[in-house]
Amino acid sequence: PTPVILITLYRPTSHNAFTDAMAASLVSALDLLSHDPRVKAIVVTGHGRIFCAGADLGAGLAYKQDTARTHRDGGGTVTLAVHRCLKPVIAAVNGSAVGVGVTMTLPMNIRVVSEKAKIGFVFARRGSLWRLIGLSKAMHLITTGSVYPATHPLLRELFTEIVPEDEVLPRALELARDIARNTSVVSTHLMKALMWRNPGTAEGTHLLDSKILLELFDGRDKLEGIQSFLQKRSPKFEGTMLENGPTAWPWWDPIDIKAPVSAADVKSKL
């Protein structure tokens, strides 16, 4: 099987608009691929000329049946699945992306976008955006709710590469294959996790780094990295997070988002 897996958003009659079914499919696919040792990298793209037109409000999102204790935002479940994923995820934003269509890509490792794409943060609840582009630009985007071309200065730090429309997917796949051939899944995931879930202090980060590095230095991928370098050949990293991850991982307290929220948590804090 190929070490690079391509996931395509496919709702051609609705510009790949986001639905509960799409959310469930993405979460299921990411969780499955995350634990498959044959998979080294994942690319997510959209069918046709649009990446994702945002939430399909006419598709009957299941909000009406939810309560404050059971409701889980569909876009949020996808972003959390990306965070959980033990493999690098690359967004091939082949066309315009609005609302959840763009926010689902924020926790992905790399975002390659079409120079013709239009990008819009049309609702004001995006906690990850400011970490990528800065507080000032994020505030502007979520306050105005305007749609901008991918080349706009406000979006300069959001996308790693802006390429011609027909080069988006080929470039994303090229990056994914390079990552699959030359990087360790364990190291890549740990570096991403340390960036998103760092302890918050210089001292705490130092202690965590020290513990992780000590264990990784004895890991199988470290030895393979040295041997492949000395032998002038491509590495064959075979370590996985579940089998070769450090004992400190996860260093945060995982929260069960499937469990209903307690009544105490639902009460207003005002």
CATH number at residue 29: 3.90.226.10
Q: Rounded to an integer, what distance in angstroms lies between the CA atom of residue 33 and that of residue 46?
A: 19
Instruction: Based on the fold, state whether residues 156 and 48 are members of the same structural domain.
Output: yes
| pLDDT tens-place string over residues 91-117 | 999 999 999 999 999 999 999 999 999
Instruction: Based on the fold, state whether residues 44 and 136 are members of the same structural domain.
Output: yes
Average pLDDT for 132-147: 90
Instruction: Based on the fold, state whether residues 13 and 120 are members of the same structural domain.
Output: yes
Banded model confidence at residue 216, pLDDT cuts 50, 70, 90: confident
Instruction: Based on the fold, state whether residues 227 and 127 are members of the same structural domain.
Output: no
**What share of the chain has pLDDT > 70, as a percent?**
88
Instruction: Based on the fold, state whether residues 165 and 199 are members of the same structural domain.
Output: no
Residue 266 above 90 pLDDT? no
Instruction: Based on the fold, state whether residues 158 and 208 are members of the same structural domain.
Output: no
Average pLDDT for 108-131: 84
Instruction: Based on the fold, state whether residues 174 and 246 are members of the same structural domain.
Output: no
Edge-to-edge strand order for the sheet containing 118-120?
Answer: 50-52, 96-98, 118-120, 147-149
Residue 265 token pair = 């948590």
Domain end among 149, 180, 211: 180
Whole domain around residue 81: which residue ranges? 4-180
What's the mean pLDDT when you consider all of the chain? 88
Banded model confidence at residue 12, pLDDT cuts 50, 70, 90: very high
**Residue that has been written with the tokens 């689902």 in this structure:** 104
Instruction: Based on the fold, state whether residues 194 and 171 are members of the same structural domain.
Output: no
Instruction: Based on the fold, state whether residues 197 and 101 are members of the same structural domain.
Output: no
Domain end among 147, 180, 213: 180
Domain end among 164, 180, 196: 180
Secondary structure element (H or E) that encloses residue 84, with its range: helix 74-84
Instruction: Based on the fold, state whether residues 158 and 243 are members of the same structural domain.
Output: no
How far, in Å, are 18, 78, 110 from residue 21 at the CA level? 8, 11, 25
Q: Which 8-state DSSP code applies to residue 116?
A: T
Structural domain tally of the chain? 2
Instruction: Based on the fold, state whether residues 204 and 241 are members of the same structural domain.
Output: yes
Check residue 154 and give its pLDDT: 95
Average pLDDT for 45-51: 97
> ∠ CA(82), CA(192), CA(227), 5° rounding?
120
| pLDDT tens-place string over residues 74-94 | 888 999 999 999 999 999 999
Q: Rounded to an integer, what distance in angstroms lies between the CA atom of residue 250 and that of residue 254?
A: 8
